[in-house]
Amino acid sequence: MKKKVLSAILTFTMVVTALAGCGNTAANTAPAGDQAAPAADAPADTAADSAAPAAELTGIDAIIAEAETMTMEELAAKAIEESNGKTFYGVGNSSRGKSALPLFIEYLQSIDSSYSMEFEWQQPKNNKIFEQLTSDSLKSEGTFAMTLIQDGNQIQSKMVDTDILKTFIPKEWAEANNTSADSYEGFLPLQTLNKVFMYNSTGSATYNNCWDFVYDGAHPLFMGVDSEIVGKNFLMMLTEDKYATWLKEAYDKLDDTKKAYFEPTIKAMQADANDLGLGANGAYALAWIKLWVNSYNEQTDDGPICNTLVDASAKDQAGLLVYSKLRSVEESATVSVNNIKVAAYEDGYTGIGGYGYCHYLFLTKNSPLPWTSCAFIAFMTCTEQGFEAWGKDMGGYSSNPKVAEEIEATFHHSQGGGDEFPAKNDRGYDWWTTNGELILEDPVYCSEVSFSVGSWIDVLDHYTPGE
Protein backbone atom coordinates (compact mmCIF):
# COMPACT_ATOMS: atom_id res chain seq x y z
CA MET A 1 0.00 0.00 0.00
CA LYS A 2 2.80 2.41 0.89
CA LYS A 3 4.43 1.78 -2.46
CA LYS A 4 1.21 2.86 -4.19
CA VAL A 5 0.94 5.97 -2.03
CA LEU A 6 4.56 6.87 -2.70
CA SER A 7 4.10 6.31 -6.42
CA ALA A 8 1.13 8.68 -6.44
CA ILE A 9 3.06 11.29 -4.47
CA LEU A 10 6.03 11.15 -6.81
CA THR A 11 3.88 11.29 -9.94
CA PHE A 12 1.91 14.28 -8.69
CA THR A 13 5.11 15.98 -7.51
CA MET A 14 6.62 15.75 -10.97
CA VAL A 15 3.56 17.44 -12.45
CA VAL A 16 3.51 20.18 -9.83
CA THR A 17 7.25 20.74 -10.18
CA ALA A 18 6.98 21.06 -13.93
CA LEU A 19 4.14 23.58 -13.66
CA ALA A 20 5.83 25.55 -10.89
CA GLY A 21 9.04 25.73 -12.86
CA CYS A 22 7.31 27.76 -15.56
CA GLY A 23 6.96 30.73 -13.26
CA ASN A 24 9.96 30.25 -10.99
CA THR A 25 12.35 33.13 -10.43
CA ALA A 26 15.57 33.61 -8.54
CA ALA A 27 13.69 35.84 -6.10
CA ASN A 28 11.65 33.02 -4.63
CA THR A 29 14.44 30.47 -4.47
CA ALA A 30 17.03 32.52 -2.57
CA PRO A 31 17.70 31.11 0.91
CA ALA A 32 15.88 33.04 3.62
CA GLY A 33 18.23 35.12 5.68
CA ASP A 34 20.87 35.36 2.94
CA GLN A 35 21.48 38.76 1.45
CA ALA A 36 20.65 38.71 -2.23
CA ALA A 37 23.44 39.36 -4.70
CA PRO A 38 23.26 42.89 -6.19
CA ALA A 39 21.34 42.94 -9.44
CA ALA A 40 23.29 43.70 -12.58
CA ASP A 41 22.82 47.19 -14.00
CA ALA A 42 19.88 47.19 -16.39
CA PRO A 43 19.79 49.18 -19.61
CA ALA A 44 18.20 52.62 -19.24
CA ASP A 45 15.36 51.85 -21.64
CA THR A 46 14.15 48.61 -20.05
CA ALA A 47 10.48 47.92 -19.46
CA ALA A 48 11.12 48.17 -15.72
CA ASP A 49 12.05 51.84 -16.09
CA SER A 50 8.78 52.63 -17.84
CA ALA A 51 6.62 50.68 -15.40
CA ALA A 52 4.23 52.53 -13.10
CA PRO A 53 5.66 53.41 -9.67
CA ALA A 54 4.90 51.04 -6.82
CA ALA A 55 1.80 51.77 -4.79
CA GLU A 56 2.36 53.93 -1.74
CA LEU A 57 2.55 51.94 1.48
CA THR A 58 -0.36 52.23 3.87
CA GLY A 59 -1.35 50.95 7.30
CA ILE A 60 1.07 48.68 9.11
CA ASP A 61 3.35 48.41 6.04
CA ALA A 62 3.90 52.17 6.20
CA ILE A 63 4.59 52.01 9.93
CA ILE A 64 7.14 49.23 9.46
CA ALA A 65 8.86 51.09 6.62
CA GLU A 66 9.19 54.20 8.80
CA ALA A 67 10.25 52.18 11.86
CA GLU A 68 13.06 50.57 9.85
CA THR A 69 14.72 54.00 9.54
CA MET A 70 14.57 54.74 13.28
CA THR A 71 16.97 54.15 16.16
CA MET A 72 16.10 52.20 19.29
CA GLU A 73 15.58 55.46 21.18
CA GLU A 74 13.25 56.84 18.53
CA LEU A 75 11.22 53.63 18.53
CA ALA A 76 11.04 53.76 22.33
CA ALA A 77 9.53 57.24 22.18
CA LYS A 78 6.89 56.00 19.74
CA ALA A 79 6.13 52.99 21.96
CA ILE A 80 5.69 55.15 25.04
CA GLU A 81 3.30 57.41 23.18
CA GLU A 82 1.29 54.48 21.78
CA SER A 83 1.01 51.98 24.63
CA ASN A 84 1.20 53.92 27.91
CA GLY A 85 -1.53 52.52 30.18
CA LYS A 86 -2.51 49.78 27.74
CA THR A 87 -2.17 45.98 27.65
CA PHE A 88 0.22 44.21 25.27
CA TYR A 89 -0.69 40.70 24.07
CA GLY A 90 2.05 38.52 22.62
CA VAL A 91 2.12 34.90 21.49
CA GLY A 92 5.08 32.63 20.91
CA ASN A 93 6.73 29.22 20.90
CA SER A 94 9.09 30.36 23.65
CA SER A 95 7.85 31.19 27.14
CA ARG A 96 10.81 33.51 27.54
CA GLY A 97 8.97 36.24 25.71
CA LYS A 98 7.17 36.60 29.01
CA SER A 99 10.55 37.08 30.70
CA ALA A 100 11.70 39.71 28.20
CA LEU A 101 8.59 41.93 28.40
CA PRO A 102 9.15 43.20 31.98
CA LEU A 103 12.72 44.14 31.03
CA PHE A 104 11.38 46.01 28.01
CA ILE A 105 8.93 47.91 30.21
CA GLU A 106 11.79 48.79 32.60
CA TYR A 107 13.76 50.12 29.63
CA LEU A 108 10.85 52.36 28.58
CA GLN A 109 10.40 53.52 32.18
CA SER A 110 14.07 54.55 32.23
CA ILE A 111 13.10 57.04 29.53
CA ASP A 112 9.72 58.05 30.98
CA SER A 113 9.18 57.13 34.63
CA SER A 114 5.41 57.63 34.28
CA TYR A 115 5.12 54.89 31.63
CA SER A 116 3.20 51.72 32.45
CA MET A 117 1.99 48.76 30.40
CA GLU A 118 0.33 45.51 31.36
CA PHE A 119 1.05 42.39 29.31
CA GLU A 120 -0.02 38.83 28.64
CA TRP A 121 2.08 36.23 26.84
CA GLN A 122 0.57 33.04 25.49
CA GLN A 123 2.46 29.88 24.49
CA PRO A 124 0.06 27.57 22.59
CA LYS A 125 0.76 23.85 22.77
CA ASN A 126 0.62 21.21 20.03
CA ASN A 127 1.54 23.63 17.24
CA LYS A 128 -1.75 25.55 17.68
CA ILE A 129 0.01 28.88 17.27
CA PHE A 130 -0.66 28.88 13.52
CA GLU A 131 -4.39 28.34 14.02
CA GLN A 132 -4.47 31.03 16.69
CA LEU A 133 -2.72 33.61 14.52
CA THR A 134 -4.85 32.73 11.50
CA SER A 135 -8.04 33.19 13.49
CA ASP A 136 -6.82 36.48 14.96
CA SER A 137 -5.90 37.76 11.48
CA LEU A 138 -9.59 37.77 10.47
CA LYS A 139 -10.35 40.63 12.87
CA SER A 140 -10.17 44.26 11.75
CA GLU A 141 -7.88 44.84 14.74
CA GLY A 142 -6.13 41.83 16.16
CA THR A 143 -5.56 40.83 19.76
CA PHE A 144 -1.92 39.86 19.33
CA ALA A 145 0.57 42.62 18.69
CA MET A 146 3.48 40.40 17.63
CA THR A 147 4.77 36.85 17.73
CA LEU A 148 7.95 34.87 18.36
CA ILE A 149 7.52 31.74 16.28
CA GLN A 150 9.42 28.71 14.95
CA ASP A 151 9.02 26.22 12.06
CA GLY A 152 10.16 28.06 8.95
CA ASN A 153 8.17 25.79 6.64
CA GLN A 154 4.75 26.60 8.10
CA ILE A 155 5.70 30.23 8.70
CA GLN A 156 6.48 30.60 5.00
CA SER A 157 3.40 28.80 3.67
CA LYS A 158 0.78 29.66 6.30
CA MET A 159 1.87 33.03 7.69
CA VAL A 160 4.04 34.95 5.21
CA ASP A 161 2.68 33.81 1.84
CA THR A 162 -0.79 34.63 3.23
CA ASP A 163 0.36 38.05 4.51
CA ILE A 164 -0.73 37.29 8.09
CA LEU A 165 2.69 38.12 9.55
CA LYS A 166 4.91 41.08 8.70
CA THR A 167 8.70 41.27 8.91
CA PHE A 168 10.30 44.30 10.56
CA ILE A 169 14.09 44.72 10.32
CA PRO A 170 15.49 47.01 13.06
CA LYS A 171 17.96 49.60 11.80
CA GLU A 172 20.67 48.74 14.32
CA TRP A 173 20.25 44.99 13.70
CA ALA A 174 20.73 45.54 9.97
CA GLU A 175 23.81 47.69 10.54
CA ALA A 176 25.33 45.08 12.87
CA ASN A 177 24.88 42.53 10.08
CA ASN A 178 26.34 44.85 7.43
CA THR A 179 23.09 45.11 5.53
CA SER A 180 19.99 47.30 5.36
CA ALA A 181 16.28 46.72 5.71
CA ASP A 182 15.84 47.33 1.97
CA SER A 183 18.44 44.80 0.85
CA TYR A 184 17.90 42.10 3.49
CA GLU A 185 15.81 39.12 2.38
CA GLY A 186 14.11 36.64 4.63
CA PHE A 187 12.61 36.63 8.11
CA LEU A 188 14.06 38.32 11.19
CA PRO A 189 15.62 35.65 13.44
CA LEU A 190 15.90 36.32 17.15
CA GLN A 191 18.26 33.39 17.56
CA THR A 192 19.45 30.10 16.13
CA LEU A 193 19.11 27.08 18.42
CA ASN A 194 21.03 23.88 17.83
CA LYS A 195 20.14 20.25 18.38
CA VAL A 196 23.26 18.10 18.39
CA PHE A 197 24.21 14.43 18.33
CA MET A 198 25.29 13.14 21.74
CA TYR A 199 26.01 9.66 23.03
CA ASN A 200 26.55 7.96 26.37
CA SER A 201 30.25 7.17 26.65
CA THR A 202 30.23 4.82 29.64
CA GLY A 203 30.12 1.76 27.39
CA SER A 204 32.15 0.63 24.41
CA ALA A 205 30.14 2.09 21.48
CA THR A 206 31.71 4.83 19.40
CA TYR A 207 30.08 7.23 16.98
CA ASN A 208 32.79 8.54 14.69
CA ASN A 209 30.62 9.33 11.68
CA CYS A 210 27.08 10.68 11.26
CA TRP A 211 26.23 7.43 9.45
CA ASP A 212 26.95 5.54 12.67
CA PHE A 213 23.69 6.93 14.07
CA VAL A 214 21.76 4.99 11.40
CA TYR A 215 23.95 1.87 11.39
CA ASP A 216 22.61 -1.58 12.17
CA GLY A 217 21.22 -1.75 15.72
CA ALA A 218 21.38 1.98 16.44
CA HIS A 219 18.20 3.49 17.87
CA PRO A 220 18.97 7.11 18.81
CA LEU A 221 16.53 8.99 21.05
CA PHE A 222 14.77 11.77 19.15
CA MET A 223 11.62 13.87 19.60
CA GLY A 224 10.54 12.81 16.14
CA VAL A 225 8.86 14.46 13.20
CA ASP A 226 5.41 14.12 14.76
CA SER A 227 6.44 15.54 18.14
CA GLU A 228 8.25 18.63 16.90
CA ILE A 229 7.84 19.79 13.32
CA VAL A 230 11.29 21.42 13.09
CA GLY A 231 12.64 17.86 13.20
CA LYS A 232 10.93 17.17 9.89
CA ASN A 233 12.39 20.40 8.50
CA PHE A 234 15.83 19.07 9.46
CA LEU A 235 15.23 15.92 7.42
CA MET A 236 13.92 17.85 4.43
CA MET A 237 16.96 20.16 4.55
CA LEU A 238 19.27 17.15 4.19
CA THR A 239 18.13 16.87 0.56
CA GLU A 240 19.40 20.35 -0.29
CA ASP A 241 22.51 20.01 -2.47
CA LYS A 242 25.00 21.40 0.08
CA TYR A 243 23.88 19.10 2.87
CA ALA A 244 23.42 16.04 0.66
CA THR A 245 27.05 16.54 -0.37
CA TRP A 246 28.09 16.59 3.31
CA LEU A 247 26.40 13.20 3.74
CA LYS A 248 28.11 11.83 0.65
CA GLU A 249 31.52 13.03 1.89
CA ALA A 250 30.91 11.41 5.29
CA TYR A 251 29.89 8.15 3.59
CA ASP A 252 33.11 8.16 1.56
CA LYS A 253 35.12 8.09 4.81
CA LEU A 254 33.42 4.97 6.18
CA ASP A 255 35.23 1.64 6.22
CA ASP A 256 34.31 -1.01 3.66
CA THR A 257 32.12 -2.99 6.06
CA LYS A 258 29.87 -0.04 6.81
CA LYS A 259 29.80 1.08 3.19
CA ALA A 260 28.61 -2.38 2.24
CA TYR A 261 25.81 -2.12 4.81
CA PHE A 262 24.56 1.24 3.49
CA GLU A 263 25.15 0.75 -0.25
CA PRO A 264 21.97 -1.24 -1.02
CA THR A 265 19.78 1.43 0.56
CA ILE A 266 21.56 4.21 -1.29
CA LYS A 267 21.12 2.40 -4.61
CA ALA A 268 17.47 1.75 -3.84
CA MET A 269 16.93 5.47 -3.19
CA GLN A 270 18.35 6.62 -6.54
CA ALA A 271 15.06 6.29 -8.40
CA ASP A 272 13.19 8.26 -5.72
CA ALA A 273 15.90 10.93 -5.76
CA ASN A 274 15.46 11.30 -9.52
CA ASP A 275 11.66 11.42 -9.24
CA LEU A 276 11.87 14.07 -6.51
CA GLY A 277 14.19 16.21 -8.63
CA LEU A 278 17.09 16.08 -6.19
CA GLY A 279 20.73 16.77 -7.01
CA ALA A 280 23.61 14.40 -7.69
CA ASN A 281 23.88 13.25 -4.07
CA GLY A 282 20.18 13.15 -3.32
CA ALA A 283 20.16 9.37 -2.92
CA TYR A 284 22.60 9.63 -0.01
CA ALA A 285 20.29 12.09 1.72
CA LEU A 286 17.22 9.92 1.16
CA ALA A 287 19.07 6.82 2.37
CA TRP A 288 20.13 8.56 5.60
CA ILE A 289 16.61 9.93 6.16
CA LYS A 290 14.99 6.54 5.54
CA LEU A 291 17.35 4.73 7.90
CA TRP A 292 16.93 7.43 10.54
CA VAL A 293 13.13 7.34 10.49
CA ASN A 294 13.21 3.53 10.44
CA SER A 295 15.43 3.43 13.53
CA TYR A 296 15.05 6.37 15.91
CA ASN A 297 13.38 5.79 19.27
CA GLU A 298 10.75 8.54 19.49
CA GLN A 299 10.51 10.54 22.70
CA THR A 300 8.09 13.28 23.77
CA ASP A 301 10.63 15.91 24.80
CA ASP A 302 14.34 16.70 24.84
CA GLY A 303 14.46 16.92 28.64
CA PRO A 304 13.86 13.20 29.21
CA ILE A 305 16.29 12.38 26.40
CA CYS A 306 19.00 14.34 28.17
CA ASN A 307 18.16 12.76 31.53
CA THR A 308 18.48 9.32 29.99
CA LEU A 309 21.78 9.89 28.20
CA VAL A 310 23.66 11.40 31.16
CA ASP A 311 22.81 8.45 33.41
CA ALA A 312 25.55 5.83 33.71
CA SER A 313 22.99 3.10 33.10
CA ALA A 314 22.38 4.28 29.51
CA LYS A 315 25.50 2.62 28.15
CA ASP A 316 26.11 3.22 24.44
CA GLN A 317 22.79 5.01 23.81
CA ALA A 318 22.73 8.08 21.57
CA GLY A 319 20.39 10.92 20.80
CA LEU A 320 19.75 14.13 18.90
CA LEU A 321 18.63 16.87 21.28
CA VAL A 322 18.84 20.55 22.22
CA TYR A 323 22.38 21.30 23.32
CA SER A 324 21.26 23.67 26.08
CA LYS A 325 19.69 20.79 28.05
CA LEU A 326 23.14 19.98 29.42
CA ARG A 327 23.01 23.18 31.46
CA SER A 328 20.33 21.80 33.76
CA VAL A 329 21.95 18.43 34.54
CA GLU A 330 22.29 17.89 38.29
CA GLU A 331 25.46 15.94 39.04
CA SER A 332 25.26 12.84 41.26
CA ALA A 333 27.00 9.51 41.76
CA THR A 334 25.32 8.03 38.68
CA VAL A 335 24.37 11.12 36.67
CA SER A 336 26.93 13.40 35.05
CA VAL A 337 27.54 15.48 31.96
CA ASN A 338 30.80 13.53 31.77
CA ASN A 339 28.79 10.40 30.97
CA ILE A 340 28.10 11.79 27.50
CA LYS A 341 30.07 13.13 24.59
CA VAL A 342 29.03 15.69 22.00
CA ALA A 343 29.82 13.77 18.83
CA ALA A 344 31.03 16.70 16.73
CA TYR A 345 33.53 17.71 19.44
CA GLU A 346 35.38 14.39 19.28
CA ASP A 347 38.61 14.15 17.32
CA GLY A 348 38.12 12.27 14.08
CA TYR A 349 34.33 12.68 13.98
CA THR A 350 33.04 13.07 10.40
CA GLY A 351 29.78 14.47 9.04
CA ILE A 352 26.83 16.47 10.25
CA GLY A 353 26.87 17.43 13.91
CA GLY A 354 23.19 18.30 14.27
CA TYR A 355 20.76 20.91 13.04
CA GLY A 356 19.87 24.51 13.74
CA TYR A 357 16.53 26.26 13.57
CA CYS A 358 15.43 29.79 14.38
CA HIS A 359 12.97 31.63 16.53
CA TYR A 360 11.64 34.38 14.26
CA LEU A 361 10.01 37.69 15.18
CA PHE A 362 7.04 39.20 13.35
CA LEU A 363 4.33 41.80 13.70
CA THR A 364 0.79 40.66 13.00
CA LYS A 365 -0.83 42.35 10.01
CA ASN A 366 -3.53 43.87 12.24
CA SER A 367 -1.35 44.58 15.27
CA PRO A 368 -3.12 46.85 17.78
CA LEU A 369 0.26 48.20 18.99
CA PRO A 370 2.60 48.22 15.97
CA TRP A 371 5.07 50.84 17.23
CA THR A 372 5.40 49.09 20.58
CA SER A 373 5.91 45.79 18.77
CA CYS A 374 8.68 47.26 16.62
CA ALA A 375 10.36 48.69 19.72
CA PHE A 376 10.08 45.37 21.57
CA ILE A 377 11.50 43.46 18.60
CA ALA A 378 14.39 45.93 18.36
CA PHE A 379 14.95 45.62 22.12
CA MET A 380 15.25 41.81 21.89
CA THR A 381 17.49 41.78 18.82
CA CYS A 382 19.68 44.84 19.45
CA THR A 383 20.39 44.86 23.20
CA GLU A 384 22.03 42.37 25.53
CA GLN A 385 19.32 43.04 28.13
CA GLY A 386 16.60 42.21 25.62
CA PHE A 387 18.23 38.93 24.57
CA GLU A 388 19.36 37.83 28.02
CA ALA A 389 16.28 35.66 28.64
CA TRP A 390 17.57 33.38 25.85
CA GLY A 391 21.27 34.22 26.08
CA LYS A 392 21.85 32.44 29.36
CA ASP A 393 21.76 29.11 27.50
CA MET A 394 24.59 27.70 25.43
CA GLY A 395 23.47 26.56 22.01
CA GLY A 396 21.24 29.61 21.47
CA TYR A 397 22.92 32.25 19.32
CA SER A 398 21.72 35.83 18.85
CA SER A 399 21.36 36.81 15.21
CA ASN A 400 23.00 40.14 16.08
CA PRO A 401 26.80 39.64 16.17
CA LYS A 402 27.27 42.56 18.57
CA VAL A 403 24.73 41.14 21.01
CA ALA A 404 26.27 37.68 20.61
CA GLU A 405 29.64 39.08 21.66
CA GLU A 406 28.11 40.81 24.69
CA ILE A 407 26.28 37.64 25.73
CA GLU A 408 29.48 35.60 25.49
CA ALA A 409 31.33 38.22 27.58
CA THR A 410 28.62 37.93 30.24
CA PHE A 411 27.97 34.17 30.33
CA HIS A 412 31.25 32.71 28.99
CA HIS A 413 29.53 29.83 27.20
CA SER A 414 32.78 28.86 25.49
CA GLN A 415 34.02 27.85 28.94
CA GLY A 416 30.64 26.88 30.38
CA GLY A 417 31.95 23.58 31.70
CA GLY A 418 35.59 24.52 32.15
CA ASP A 419 38.02 21.65 32.49
CA GLU A 420 35.56 19.65 34.58
CA PHE A 421 32.75 19.30 32.01
CA PRO A 422 34.22 19.86 28.52
CA ALA A 423 31.00 18.87 26.75
CA LYS A 424 29.47 22.11 28.03
CA ASN A 425 32.13 24.32 26.44
CA ASP A 426 30.10 25.73 23.57
CA ARG A 427 32.20 26.27 20.45
CA GLY A 428 29.80 28.89 19.12
CA TYR A 429 27.70 29.58 16.05
CA ASP A 430 30.61 30.12 13.65
CA TRP A 431 32.20 26.79 14.59
CA TRP A 432 28.95 24.84 14.51
CA THR A 433 27.97 26.11 11.07
CA THR A 434 31.39 25.30 9.58
CA ASN A 435 33.48 22.62 11.32
CA GLY A 436 30.44 21.26 13.18
CA GLU A 437 28.46 20.87 9.93
CA LEU A 438 25.20 22.07 11.47
CA ILE A 439 22.23 21.74 9.10
CA LEU A 440 20.46 25.11 8.99
CA GLU A 441 16.73 25.41 8.36
CA ASP A 442 15.84 27.44 5.25
CA PRO A 443 12.12 28.30 5.27
CA VAL A 444 11.94 28.81 1.51
CA TYR A 445 13.56 25.47 0.68
CA CYS A 446 11.44 23.64 3.26
CA SER A 447 8.22 25.10 1.87
CA GLU A 448 9.26 24.24 -1.70
CA VAL A 449 9.90 20.56 -0.91
CA SER A 450 7.26 20.15 1.80
CA PHE A 451 4.83 18.35 -0.50
CA SER A 452 7.39 16.31 -2.41
CA VAL A 453 10.14 15.32 0.05
CA GLY A 454 7.89 15.95 3.05
CA SER A 455 5.23 13.59 1.74
CA TRP A 456 7.92 11.01 0.96
CA ILE A 457 9.04 11.18 4.59
CA ASP A 458 5.45 10.80 5.80
CA VAL A 459 5.09 7.30 4.33
CA LEU A 460 8.31 5.90 5.82
CA ASP A 461 8.02 3.19 8.45
CA HIS A 462 8.78 4.22 12.02
CA TYR A 463 10.70 2.14 14.53
CA THR A 464 8.64 0.62 17.36
CA PRO A 465 10.66 -0.56 20.39
CA GLY A 466 10.20 -4.24 21.12
CA GLU A 467 9.21 -5.22 17.59
Whether 4 has a pLDDT exceeding 60, the answer reads no
pTM: 0.87
Tens of pLDDT, residues 332-385: 999 999 999 999 999 999 999 999 999 999 999 999 999 999 999 999 999 999
Q: Which of 15-19, 97-101, 238-242 has the lowest mean pLDDT?
A: 15-19
Measured between alpha carbons, how far is residue 128 from residues 93, 123, 131, 308, 385 in Å? Answer: 10, 9, 5, 29, 29
Rounded mean pLDDT, 94-106: 94
**What is the pLDDT confidence band of residue 465, given thresholds at 50, 70 and 90?**
confident
Tens of pLDDT, residues 419-462: 999 999 999 999 999 999 999 999 999 999 999 999 999 999 99
**What is the pLDDT confidence band of residue 126, given thresholds at 50, 70 and 90?**
confident
Domains parsed from the chain with CATH numbers: 57-190+358-413 (3.40.190.10), 194-355+424-458 (3.40.190.10)
What is the predicted pLDDT for the residue at 55?
59
Tens of pLDDT, residues 202-256: 999 889 999 999 999 999 999 988 778 899 999 999 999 999 999 999 999 999 9
* Dist. CA 347–CA 203, nearest whole Å: 18
What is the predicted pLDDT for the residue at 194?
97
Could you tell me which residues come within 8 angstroms of residue 418 by beta carbon, excluding any fewer than 6 positions away? 425
Torsion angle (degrees, nearest 10) of CA 120, 368, 69, 404: 20
